[in-house]
Amino acid sequence: MAESVIHVAQVLALLSPSPAPAEELNTQGLADFLRGFFGPLFLVTVSVVALFFLFTREITRFVQFLAITIVIGVIFYVPNIIETLARGIAAALGVT
């Protein structure tokens, strides 16, 4: 009886699919899709708000908004900037 249980276990082990080798998660396609989707939306929103500030003659708010917009644009559209910033902050804090 014990031999038949061992034999069944061996057959099941041979029939079961082996796990696929672990592959790295590739999110480049997702990042490209999100940039392509939110890029035009971001530009339209920035344009409308900038025109509002210009037409109401709020030059100080326009300049502040423009500076913030440039920072946000650089963070989202320069490749690997978030990883570079994270490594720099971690190095400054002494985290390895």
pLDDT given for residue 93 in this prediction: 92
- In the numeric block, the tokens 């069944």 are attached to 8
Q: Render each residue's pLDDT in the chain as its tens digit; 96 residues.
A: 556 656 666 665 666 565 555 676 666 677 778 778 888 888 888 889 988 888 888 888 888 998 998 988 887 778 788 788 888 888 999 887
Place of tokens 């559209």: 77
Measured between alpha carbons, how far is residue 92 from residues 42, 74, 88, 89 in Å?
A: 32, 21, 6, 5
What is the per-residue pLDDT for 14?
A: 61
Q: How far apart are CA 12 and CA 23, in angstroms?
A: 26
The SS3 call for residue 86 is helix
Q: How many Å apart are CA 63 and CA 69, to the nearest integer?
A: 10
